[in-house]
Every structure is written in structure tokens, then in C-alpha cells.
Amino acid sequence: MPNVYDFPLSQPEGSQTLQEAPRTRRRGRPGHLDLPFLLLTLLLLAVGLVMLLSSSYAIAYFESVSKGAEAAPMSYFTSQLIYAVGGIVALIIVSFIPLSFLRRFSVPAIVVAFGLLLGVLLTGLRGNGAVRWIGVGSLTFQPSELVKAAVILAFADWTVRFGPKMGDFKHGVLPFLGVLGMFSFLLMQQPHLSATIIILGVGALMMYAGGTRWYWFVAAAAAAAMVILYLRSHQDWVIEKAKENYMFARVAAWLDPESQRRGDGWQILQSLYAIGSGGLLGLGLGNSRQKYLYLPEAQNDYIFSIICEELGFVGAVLILLLFAMLILRGFWLALQCKDQFNRMMVIGFTGLIAIQVFLNVGVVTNLLPSTGISLPFFSSGGTALIVQLAEVGLILSASREIGNK
């Protein structure tokens, strides 16, 4: 991904400079939103709802009956459908909000995100061995989803403000590293490894696109590679540490799931069984066997395994191609933006989708350790779905302004 300074931005005579990035919307009617990006999003959402119904049917039935209630096999699907409608409404509304208006909230967004994470630690709700949710009446939401958006908003603003100074350590590394370090520390107290990895990834992408020197990323990649090599060469030590540490347990299951088949390795083994049994064309929609309480979180983080089992290699590849088209279209839109802040925002939100898709597929195939990363537009989760669709709305808002230039 080239950085934003590799693309000259033309400025109409008498307009403000990029460093003075206008904070008021251009007068007149909004331009047309990018139809291909919208249609790809809605297509992925529709396919995601179908696959969620299929993957959640068994677990929803079991959960309702085990509680002594009437069987409700469609409960996950019904809930997700409601959130999807709400998310589409949010997408439409947000697509009319000029990004220049949002820019003034970059610092307040970071402050609010910090406060929400502190609130999780103090009054958060526990679930699945972690404290990641805040309750508001009968509703719950994960602040980590809002933290991702806050980081993108703030980093987009800062990269434009610092401009050519992004090339030095004081401006191009230090403030960004401070924010990423602060949020990573708070997220790991929950613990929430997946959100930590995503925020670090999208933060690094925006830093590079904004002008941070490449050698800082090479150094970080080299350090990460050394850690991975060390863990692989000391599996016995990792397995021993896994008895007392959540993160080491995940790494141990990744390195040798067979040795952990009755514990943390169970989920990844069932995922691999699902993927393998799907073959080329799959068992057919609705015919998964692993979703019948063999594969934990089949409706959530591991829904791609059920996709592979029911739709096979061909179906899984087609879905990944849809994601690839969406991501490429997003980056293409970023290159069309004449305003640097808009460009950085689109890069950030498109990169967020790309990182989550890559990490989710990497986890379910055991390419990466299990981190609890959901698949955008597919995995069950109301907060995540609404926020993702709202972020698509921000990308579409930028596309409207492209048409107005």
C-alpha cells in the first residue's frame, strides 16, 4: 500500500491546503454513493444471514430447550436480522454525514474510547471467561468495536496534520505507538486478544499509508518473526506455560492441536474436520454435521468452517472473492479521494475489513492461533454488525464527495 504522499492531490485555485483540511461540507446536493461498493456489501450481508441461519440452527435449538423454554431454533437468525436492518439504516444515515464534520471529533473519540475500556474493567459483564461487554438496560455492547473506529478517526486526522513530518520518529511513530500501546494494554486486561491484534494491524496500515518510514515496520515484523520462531522451537515450554496462562494455551493449541484435543485444541480440530469434509462442492446448504454441537462458536468466530463444510471449496472461494472485490473497490475509492483526510479514513475502514477477513480465515484453518476474530457481515454479533455497516456508510460518504469534486 503506497502512502498518501505518493499521489499528488490537486487543489482548486483559492482553496485551502491539505494541512488546513476544510471542516465544513461543500455546499450543494450530495453526490452519488458508490453503487458497486454498496451492492457488494449488501450481497455479503445477505449471504451472511443465510449462513448464520444454517450454522446457528442447532445451537439455538439446544440453548432454548436446555433452559426449559420453548424451542427457538431461529433465535440467532432473528436477532441478527433485526441488527442487520438497524445496521442498514445506520449505513444510509451515516452515508450523508460529511467526513470533514467527523474530523473535529478525533480527539474526543479517543477520550471516549479510553473511558469505555476503563468502564469495561470496572463494571463490565463477564462471558466465556472474559470481561468485554457493557450493559445498558437489557442491551449489551462491546466497546472494542467503537475503539477500532476511534483509532481510525484519530489516526486519519493526525496523519494529515503532521503531513511530511510523518517521516520522523517524533511525529510518525511516537504518538501513534502511545495510543496503540495504551489501548492494547487495556484490551489485554479483558482479555481481548483479537481486538488488540486488529487495532495494531489497522494502526500500522494507516501509519504506513500516512508516511511513516518503512524500516520501522520491517523492525516490528522481524521482532514478531523472532517471537514466533522461538515459540515453535520451545513447544514443551509453551505447553507448560499454557496450564496457567490464557495466551499460552491458545499458542499451545495452535502449535499442536492433537496434543490438546480434549482441551483448547478441540475447537481447531473440529474446524479442520468441517473444512476437510466439505471437499470441493460441500455437503449442501444446511447439511453440516459439525454444527451439531461438535464445533464451538459455529455461528460466530468459526462460521467460515461451516461455510466450507456446506458449500465446499468452490463456495468458500466465491465468498472470499466477494470480500476481495469489496476490499479492492474500497482501496480504489481511497485513491480517488482528493481530500487526504477522506482518503485516510477510507484506507482505515477498508483495511479493517481486510484484516478481519484474513485473520478469521487464518484462525479457522489453523494458520494462526485462535484469537476470537469474527468474520465481517457473517458472524453473530449485534454491536459488530451495526458498527461494520455504519463504517461502510462512512466509506460511501467519501464516495459521495468524490462525485462532488
Give the distance from CA 27 to its chain's centroid. 33
167 and 281 in one domain?
no
pLDDT tens for 314-328 read: 999 999 999 999 999
Contact 171, 213 (CB under 8 A): no
* Boundary of a domain, candidates 212, 233, 251: 212
User: Is 82 within a domain?
Assistant: yes
User: Is 223 within a domain?
Assistant: no
User: Is 42 within a domain?
Assistant: yes
**pLDDT at 134 (0 to 100):** 80
**pLDDT at 328 (0 to 100):** 97
The pTM of this model reads 0.86
**pLDDT at 230 (0 to 100):** 79
Examine the pLDDT at 182 and tell me if it is beyond 50. Answer: yes
pLDDT tens for 237-256 read: 766 766 666 677 777 778 78
154 and 90 in one domain?
no
294 and 322 in one domain?
yes
* Boundary of a domain, candidates 192, 212, 232: 212
181 and 270 in one domain?
no
pLDDT tens for 357-382 read: 999 999 999 988 887 789 999 999 88
Least trusted range by pLDDT, from 52-66, 120-134, 258-272:
120-134
User: Is 397 within a domain?
Assistant: yes
Side by side, the strands of the sheet bearing 130-136 are 125-127, 130-136, 139-141
SS3 category, 126 = strand
202 and 90 in one domain?
no
- Computed over every residue of the chain, the mean pLDDT equals 86
Give the distance from CA 138 to its chain's centroid. 25
143 and 268 in one domain?
no
Percent of the chain at pLDDT exceeding 70:
88
Q: Domain limits at 111? A: 97-212
152 and 89 in one domain?
no
Contact 119, 44 (CB under 8 A): no
Examine the pLDDT at 2 and tell me if it is beyond 70. Answer: no
User: Is 229 within a domain?
Assistant: no
Cβ-based neighbour number of residue 106 at 10 Å:
20
379 and 321 in one domain?
yes
381 and 299 in one domain?
yes
47 and 167 in one domain?
no
User: Is 181 within a domain?
Assistant: yes
**pLDDT at 69 (0 to 100):** 81
Q: Give the count of domains, the chain.
A: 2
397 and 268 in one domain?
yes
* Boundary of a domain, candidates 212, 227, 253: 212
User: Is 238 within a domain?
Assistant: no
User: Is 208 within a domain?
Assistant: yes
Phi, psi of 92 (to 5 degrees): -65, -45
200 and 86 in one domain?
no
**3-class DSSP string for the chain:** CCCHHHCCCCCCCCCCCHHHCCCCCCCCCCCCCCHHHHHHHHHHHHHHHHHHHHHHHHHHHHHHHHCCCCCCCCHHHHHHHHHHHHHHHHHHHHCCCCHHHHHHHHHHHHHHHHHHHHHHHHHCEEECCEEEEEEECCEEECHHHHHHHHHHHHHHHHHHHHHHHHHCHHHHCHHHHHHHHHHHHHHHCCCCHHHHHHHHHHHHHHHHHHCCCHHHHHHHHHHHHHHHHHHHHCHHHHHHHCCCCHHHHHHHHHHCHHHHCCCCHHHHHHHHHHHHHHCCCCCCCCCCCCCCCCCCCCCCCCHHHHHHHHHHHHHHHHHHHHHHHHHHHHHHHHHHCCCHHHHHHHHHHHHHHHHHHHHHHHHHCCCCCCCCCCCCCCCCCHHHHHHHHHHHHHHHHHHHHHHHC
Mean of pLDDT values over 256-277: 88
